[in-house]
Structures are given as structure tokens and as C-alpha cells.
Amino acid sequence: MKLILLGPPGAGKGTQCKRIVERYGMAHLSSGDILRAERAAGSELGKKAQGYMDRGDLVPDDLIIDMMIAAIKKAPKGYVLDGFPRTVAQAEGLDAALAKAGERIDAIINLQVPDEAILSRMTGRRSCPVCGAVYHVVNLRPRVDNRCDKDNAELVQRKDDTPAVVANRLKTYHEQTAAVIGYYKRANTIVAIDSNKDVDQVTADVFKRLDALDG
């Protein structure tokens, strides 16, 4: 299965993608995670992306399109795209690459959350630096305070989850990424899911749509 998960920062894309991948077995291709890995490795791409990410601005399209098309090529059995495409130019770049390969996306899911719910989700987010598991200090607590359930590593807070950077990420989303929804709506391929609900309820709603495709 080839999927795209859209939604504003903090909509729960990463959280739901991890559950989708566990159930359906495709690759999870998160542009944010790939960029953070490039930064941690000190690569040229990571160095170029750093300033944009720390401010909450988008990394330039040409860098992102090349990076994500390369990742897609390494996932022939299917994937869920998380955080990409984030501009109409990126969506067009993806469409061109898919057309060249004779492939198509099976479903595009748009996780919807109002802006008011987002700040507390982001500032309360904690992640495992070892396995990437995502928690929340109130909504999705680990079994032991500040320790990952899977590997007991100490949880960390992302640098771009401060209130000022979150505000800029939301502004960037409305100015540049919301148009991607219009792009896919025109092709009638987008499914809206209310993500302002309990995490498990959102997962159940997503699985219901995907089971219909998988069956």
C-alpha cells in the first residue's frame, strides 16, 4: 500500500504512522525524521536544513523532493509518507516521479485538528532518542515517567517544540502546506479524519478506511 498522511504540526501524523506500519507492514518515510537523522550524521543536507528547521520554516523544495524520491525508491513494497508533500511544488514533484515509475498513491489521509489543540500537544511531546517512539506528558504517558516503554531510554523534547517555534510552524503550515489539501481535493483522492479525539479512536478511524482498501 502507498499512502500519504497530511495534517498540521502535531496532528498525530507520526503517532498514527507508527501504528499503520505495525499493522500493514509498509515503510514509514517521515521527512522530518530523515532530516533529523541527516543532521545527527552531520551530512551536507543536514547542515543545509538545520537553520530552517530550528526556525520552523520549510526546507527548500529541491532538497526535499530529491531526498524523498530517493527514500521512495528504496521502499518498493509500499510506504506511508509523513510530512511530505508540504508544498504544491513538492506534490507536483511526487506526481512526476510516480508517473515516471508507473505508480500511484492508494490513499491520502488528512488528519484534522484545530490550532487551539496543537500547542499543548507539541510542548508536551517527548520522544525516545533510541527508537523514535512518541509520547505526551498528559495524553500518552510512558509507563515509567520520562522513560521509553520499549528500551527504557530517557525521553527528550524536540528543539522545535518551543511555543515560539510552534507558532511559526503553524503559520508556515497555513501559508504553504494547507494548499496541498486543495491540490489533492481537486483529484478527489483525499479522506478527512478528525484527529481531535482520543489517539486510539483516531487509529480505529484510520484503520477502518485502510482495511477497506486492503481487503
User: CA 180 → CA 8, 37, 59, 189, 212, distances in Å?
Assistant: 11, 25, 16, 12, 24
**Using the rule CB under 6 A, is 20 a contact of ligand AP5?**
no
**Using the rule CB under 6 A, is 28 a contact of ligand AP5?**
no
Largest interatomic CA distance in the chain: 48
Catalytically annotated residue among 18, 36, 121, 169: 169
User: Which grid cell is 121?
Assistant: 500537544
**Using the rule CB under 6 A, is 7 a contact of ligand AP5?**
yes
Choice from 6, 107, 195, 206 touching ligand AP5 (CB under 6 A): 195
CB of 63 to ligand AP5, least distance (A): 8
Q: Strands 125-127 and 2-6, how do they pair?
A: unpaired
**Using the rule CB under 6 A, is 10 a contact of ligand AP5?**
yes
Amino acid at 120: S
Q: Nearer Cβ to ligand AP5, position 12 or 72?
A: 12
CB of 56 to ligand AP5, least distance (A): 5
Q: Nearer Cβ to ligand AP5, position 131 or 215?
A: 131
125 tagged catalytic: yes
Give the H/E segment covering residue 191: strand 190-194
Q: Nearer Cβ to ligand AP5, position 199 or 215?
A: 199
Phi-psi region of 78 (alpha: psi -120 to 50; beta: other; left: phi over 0): left
169 tagged catalytic: yes
**Using the rule CB under 6 A, is 110 a contact of ligand AP5?**
no
- CA gap 118, 11 in Å, rounded: 7
Range list of β-strands (E), 21-164? 27-30, 79-82, 107-112, 125-127, 134-136
Which are the catalytic amino acids?
13, 86, 125, 158, 169
* Interacting residue ranges for ligand AP5, rule: CB under 6 A: 7, 9-15, 31-32, 35, 52-53, 56-59, 64, 83-84, 86, 90, 121, 124-125, 134-136, 139-140, 160, 169, 195, 197, 199, 202
